[in-house]
Structure 1
Amino acid sequence: MAKLKQTRTGKRKALPPQLTSGLGQAQQLIQAGQGAQARLLLERLVVQFPSSGDAHYLLGVVYGQGGEREKGVQVLRRALELDRRNPVFLLTLGNLLNSLRSFDEAREVFRKAIRLQPNFPQAHNGLGMTFSAQKRHQEALACYRKAMGQAPDFVDARGNYAAACIEIGENDEAVQILEPVCRQHPDYLSGWKNLGVAYVNCNRMDEGIDAFQQALRLAPQNLDLLQNLAVVALAHQRNELAKQTLDTLLSLDGENPDVRILLGDYCVQRNDLEEAVGHYQAAAGAGYEQTLALLKIGSAQSRLGRFDDATRSYRQALELDPGLSQALLAMVRINRRETPTEVIERLEAMIDSDGLSDELQLALYFALGKVCDDAGLYDRAFGHYARGNRLKGCRYESDLQEQKTQALMDAFTPALFETVADIASDSERPLFVLGMPRSGTTLTEQILASHPAVHGGGEQLYFGTLEGRLKEACGGERPYPAAIAEHLSVLFPAEIARYLAYLDSLDRDALRIVDKMPSNFLSLGLIGLLFPRAKIVHCMRNPIDTCLSIYFQNFKGEHLYAYDQQALGHYYRQYLRLMAHWRRVLPNPILDLRYEEMVADQEGTTRGLIEFAGLEWDDRCLAFQNTERAIQTASIWQARQPIYTTSVARWRHYEAHLQPLIQALGDVVEV
């Protein structure tokens, strides 16, 4: 609480001894947290001394602290009638008005306090909070800068400045402000919380998790913090941490529909699809938005291969909201049996409506392309896909991609792998399935995961995240991967232990755990350094079919090459160039698994795959479509079907439109 101040010049009339004693006693009670006793005393004082601005001020403070903010405002206004030029009274009134969301009045109150006392950092901070609440962030930042300039150690002003930076996307600035503040004030709860948010927004996930955990040490039952930590742990695939955090949330706030949704998301990630559906249904019953819950339920049912159930869930969502594009788009992905005419008409009507965001318009173009492709309307389909790809607006830099490829080839040499041969892991538990997107990686993982000794781990982010950490560690003068040899101590043995522990968090008993991130072909150097005995399944497919399927996919992540035919052809050639290098230098065994060979001879190719993985044969691998597990890629429908031939030489339907791609692929084209 701010101390009482007298700002007027001249001598202040002496207060009656009884009032002076009463005010002193009231301040002591307030500081001791005995608000009820202070309130009784001050209510007597304002009756006895109705012209005392100080008594009214303290009573307003007590009311505000006790949650009676409207009464606090009334009493503080009376205090200001008695002492109009007291900036402390104005500051407290402004803060209460902010808490009541009376922002226009609060703004004028703070400005009056600043006119009376320009060097008043608390008032500048309060005015900044008013602007922040009104989303006037640039004006808020100016106020916080003024407060920090007047009081460099003013923690709340620095914290509020950082929070405003986060709001406008200046997360690096927020980190620079909050890191020293949190070090100097380790008990600063909101600082740690906002630092965690800023780290996460900067994609510094591990540091974000650490900051949230520090905040939770101060407030172990803070529900917002626990939810933040659960969300980040799930996104970062920190499964044990996610489970611990969600268990705590469940015990504290198990009826909260947001908690149920997070539990459902965790179960999906763990392949517990039936349990996920239960949590989503519980969330819907507890008041979660029905349409969003139905979308979650439909998605889980799709991943289980229960396409009829999923279609019913999506239809229920559309009955509640006929314009719910997400439900319609999801149905398009899984529904192959109904006539597409009605769906095409609905999608075309939707895409012609006003006010569509670019994101939704783009999704509709890709959905229309798929429906038309399913219906055999190939020219029409390609037109929609082409419009969607143009709308994506990505810029691919071929020179930069060539430089990245060459840098990996220069850094990861046979000599480098020999350097660490004695300290690398001898574990064969990781099994990597990789290749270009849409090359059959999901199908291959589904076959492997049908074996009782194999856990299908899906697309894991681990090695991409490790590369990010190494880039930070290497710095700018000799960046990653050029400086990898100088940073091997960062990798061994900590990263080996960390990754094996991560595999344990997925499944403690499986003999093999599949990581099917296609882009791991870029990370094979790190994989070979850490796990030289891990087996690599390299999925391959006709280059034109692969690139066409990529061109027809609206990826969520960053695939800058995917939306232009010439860029696709160039990127594919760089991928082949890099894979040829890995075959020359890696100590790992590599199996080139061709999609067309799998289609032509399913049993023979599957037996070769299982043998390569070091496993005993199991007939369930031939009936992979019956294996119940979560599939979280664009291939949800395909992975639930038996081997089919319609994707072989699919590009022939579009040959007239694909000359830029064919020319860019050059001599790697297979016709």
Structure 2
Amino acid sequence: MELAQLPQQGASQAWTPACSRAARSRNWPLMQQIATAWTRAEPESVQAWQSLSHACFEQKLFTESLDAFDVVLSLDPENFRQHVSAARIATAAERFERAQRHLTTADRLQPGASEVLLASCRLNYLTGKLQQAEHDCRQALAASPTLVPAYITLGQLCQGRLRREEVAAIQRLLAQTWLHPEYRAALLFTLGEALDHAKEYGAAFSAWQQANRVNMQLSQQEGIAYQRAEQDQELDILISLFPPGSASSVSHKKAAGTQSPQPIFVLGMPRSGTTLVESILASHSAVHGGGELPMLPEIHDELITMARRIGIEETRSVMQRKLARWREAYLAALPTPAGSDAGEKPGWVVDKQPLNFRSIGLIRLLFPDSPIIATERDALEIGLSIYRHDFSKNWPCAHRLEDIGHYLGLHRRLMAHWYALAPNHIHRLEHADMIKDSSAEIRSLLAFAGLTEEPACHEPHKTQRAVSTFSAVQVRQPVSAAFSGRARHYVSYLEPLKKNLSA
């Protein structure tokens, strides 16, 4: 339905199916347009504002999603479920204090409700209160034994160590035809982890395979697919834009007179140890862990689009004119650490966006004083770890072993270029070396970043900070080999990855 054909007032029966059709086709920008028009036509409609919030949330426009849901709460303030939804959005946006306020209100309105317990579990999980999170999760399941998200979160908390009755409950849920595809995929990933822990490796891989098939279908509905030719072309563009000999000098000291925090870049393939490195650095008193920040990928995409449109030589010229604006935009978007207004701001903010491995040449131009830490890990370990996790739309390669192998190969070739371009200005950190001698690796890491040694950096699992990646449980434990070596059980299954890695 075209927006111009929608009624302008008093006909929710027309707006509702229009939003529903956009949601079913996973066309979130269209749903946002329709819902925005709906809120203008019927500003007192709770459903209109919920639809707008949902559409924004699916596009990771968390501020806009929260703003829309504030209107929902003003229209329906005594509905505990609305406060639970607001808490979930705030948690996803990492507005944890705001999430807790909503949960406190929800619990007052409906004490002991399973929805409140589950949302509380998720919040405690991300903020490192793992025992309380597990308690909340099991309480939610006791109150509502078919609460699908609770099994998913419990699996993440327990790293696959689920009870037999919990695995059986997951299998019963997967047999239900009413299960939403997103929940089906997430439950299959959860089941795979549980079967892997039980050493049922064939069944575990089958579950992960089914989960990725569901996710691929969902991605295709949104028009998202891994484009090999485009990725190959992007690699060629980057090597042409930043040829050998174009590296500049670097100091790793804050520029004189710089008031705002400066970035430290931790980058590499996902599941290569970026979260652990960020946790080590963020345990330092002068460093704030910013997480996976979105601004540099946006700048990178602008650069690549420009190169495709006007060519390499013209792009080099335009790029030089844009550097100051890009640098200013990036610094303006850096997160402000909690409590920084009351005390001294940290000198550095860690940006651990894995995709930034594509942008090392750009980083060297924008932030020549910024340390760059590149994490490396065995390709099969990375590939399997990606395949057995429920990755977001930002990683369309994650659903097929062939595509994972291809992207790993691109990463390997591009990193070889960056290492040759700036051999002394990228700290290469091998995950295996960190496990073998973490003390030595941490000392070397801090020295490269120009940071003084602090005891907390050697015990990052004790640092109280929010972690919102798949490694949220792992980084709460001392560095060990407990999470490595899993690929040896799946070598025969990983042949498609291996073939494409060397292609």
Q: When the two structures are superposed, what TM-score results if normalisation uses the length of structure 1?
A: 0.60
* Separation of aligned partners in 1, 2:146 and 2:313: 51
Kindly tell me: are residues 545 and 165 of structure 1, through their superposed partners in 2, closer, same or farther at Cα, counting changes over 3 Å?
Answer: closer
Q: Which runs of 5+ in 2 are unaligned?
A: 41-47, 220-224
User: Are residues 1:327 and 2:159 paired?
Assistant: no
Kindly tell me: are residues 300 and 485 of structure 1, through their superposed partners in 2, closer, same or farther at Cα, counting changes over 3 Å?
Answer: same
Q: How does 1:80-91 map to 2 (within 5 A)?
A: none
Instruction: Tell me what 2:330 maps to.
Output: 499
2:274 equivalent among 441, 447, 450 = 441
Residue identity matched to 1:522: R
- 1:625: how far off? 1.0
SS of alignment partner, residue 493 of structure 1: helix
* Separation of aligned partners in 2, 1:626 and 1:536: 25
* Separation of aligned partners in 2, 1:631 and 1:407: 34
Instruction: Tell me what 1:464 maps to.
Output: 297
Native 8 Å contact 2:162 2:194 kept in 1: no
1:348 equivalent among 162, 166, 171 = 171
Instruction: Tell me what 2:452 maps to.
Output: 616
* Separation of aligned partners in 2, 1:266 and 1:339: 28
* Separation of aligned partners in 2, 1:653 and 1:168: 38
Instruction: Tell me what 2:283 maps to.
Output: 450
Instruction: Tell me what 2:315 maps to.
Output: 484
Q: Any idea what the Cα deviations from partners look like across 1:564-585, whole Å, max 9, x if unmatched?
A: 2222222111111111222233
Kindly tell me: are residues 137 and 560 of structure 1, through their superposed partners in 2, closer, same or farther at Cα, counting changes over 3 Å?
Answer: closer
Q: How does 1:426-437 map to 2 (within 5 A)?
A: 429-437=262-270
Instruction: Tell me what 1:358 maps to.
Output: 181
Q: How does 1:167-566 map to 2 (within 5 A)?
A: 194=37, 235=60, 258=82, 262=86, 266=90, 276-286=99-109, 290-335=113-158, 340-393=163-216, 395-413=225-243, 429-469=262-302, 474=306, 477-478=309-310, 484-488=315-319, 491-503=322-334, 505-506=336-337, 508=340, 509-566=345-402
- 1:360: how far off? 2.2
Native 8 Å contact 2:212 2:387 kept in 1: yes
Instruction: Tell me what 2:403 maps to.
Output: 567
SS of alignment partner, residue 643 of structure 1: coil
User: Are residues 1:133 and 2:38 paired?
Assistant: no
Native 8 Å contact 1:532 1:588 kept in 2: no
- 1:321: how far off? 2.6
SS of alignment partner, residue 204 of structure 2: helix
* Separation of aligned partners in 2, 1:171 and 1:647: 36
User: Are residues 1:664 and 2:472 paired?
Assistant: no
* Separation of aligned partners in 1, 2:382 and 2:307: 36
- 1:415: how far off? 7.2
Kindly tell me: are residues 278 and 174 of structure 1, through their superposed partners in 2, closer, same or farther at Cα, counting changes over 3 Å?
Answer: closer
Residue identity matched to 1:573: G
* Separation of aligned partners in 1, 2:88 and 2:419: 41
- 1:470: how far off? 5.1
Residue identity matched to 1:377: E
Native 8 Å contact 2:293 2:351 kept in 1: yes
Q: Bigger relative contact order, structure 1 or 2, given CA contacts below 8 A and separation 6+? A: 2
Instruction: Tell me what 1:143 maps to.
Output: none
SS of alignment partner, residue 336 of structure 2: helix
SS of alignment partner, residue 267 of structure 2: strand
Q: Any idea what the Cα deviations from partners look like across 1:172-228, whole Å, max 9, x if unmatched?
A: 8999xx9xxxxxxxxxxx99x549x9xxxxxxxxxxxxxx9xxxxxxxxxx969x96
SS of alignment partner, residue 554 of structure 1: coil
Kindly tell me: are residues 269 and 511 of structure 1, through their superposed partners in 2, closer, same or farther at Cα, counting changes over 3 Å?
Answer: farther
Q: Percent identity?
A: 29
Native 8 Å contact 2:266 2:274 kept in 1: yes
SS of alignment partner, residue 369 of structure 2: coil
Kindly tell me: are residues 384 and 264 of structure 1, through their superposed partners in 2, closer, same or farther at Cα, counting changes over 3 Å?
Answer: closer
Residue identity matched to 1:305: G
Q: How does 1:33-182 map to 2 (within 5 A)?
A: 133-135=13-15
Residue identity matched to 2:310: R
* Separation of aligned partners in 1, 2:89 and 2:22: 30
Q: Any idea what the Cα deviations from partners look like across 1:3-37, whole Å, max 9, x if unmatched?
A: xxxxxxxxxxxxxxxxxxxxxxxxxxxxxxxxxxx
SS of alignment partner, residue 505 of structure 1: coil
Residue identity matched to 1:324: L
SS of alignment partner, residue 469 of structure 2: coil
- 1:587: how far off? 9.2
Instruction: Tell me what 1:606 maps to.
Output: 442
- Higher alpha-carbon deviation: 380-389 or 601-610: 380-389
Kindly tell me: are residues 249 and 608 of structure 1, through their superposed partners in 2, closer, same or farther at Cα, counting changes over 3 Å?
Answer: farther
User: Are residues 1:626 and 2:457 paired?
Assistant: no
Q: Any idea what the Cα deviations from partners look like across 1:39-62, whole Å, max 9, x if unmatched?
A: xxxxxxxxxxxxxxxxxxxxxxxx
Residue identity matched to 1:363: A
Residue identity matched to 1:412: F
* Separation of aligned partners in 2, 1:253 and 1:417: 57
SS of alignment partner, residue 179 of structure 2: coil
SS of alignment partner, residue 134 of structure 1: helix
- 1:639: how far off? 1.0
SS of alignment partner, residue 497 of structure 1: helix
- 1:552: how far off? 0.9
- 1:614: how far off? 1.0
Kindly tell me: are residues 256 and 380 of structure 1, through their superposed partners in 2, closer, same or farther at Cα, counting changes over 3 Å?
Answer: closer
Residue identity matched to 1:442: T
Q: When the two structures are superposed, what TM-score results if normalisation uses the length of structure 2?
A: 0.79
SS of alignment partner, residue 523 of structure 1: helix
Q: CA RMSD in A?
A: 4.6
SS of alignment partner, residue 537 of structure 1: strand
* Separation of aligned partners in 2, 1:291 and 1:325: 11
Kindly tell me: are residues 337 and 401 of structure 1, through their superposed partners in 2, closer, same or farther at Cα, counting changes over 3 Å?
Answer: closer
* Separation of aligned partners in 1, 2:350 and 2:175: 43
Instruction: Tell me what 2:45 maps to.
Output: none
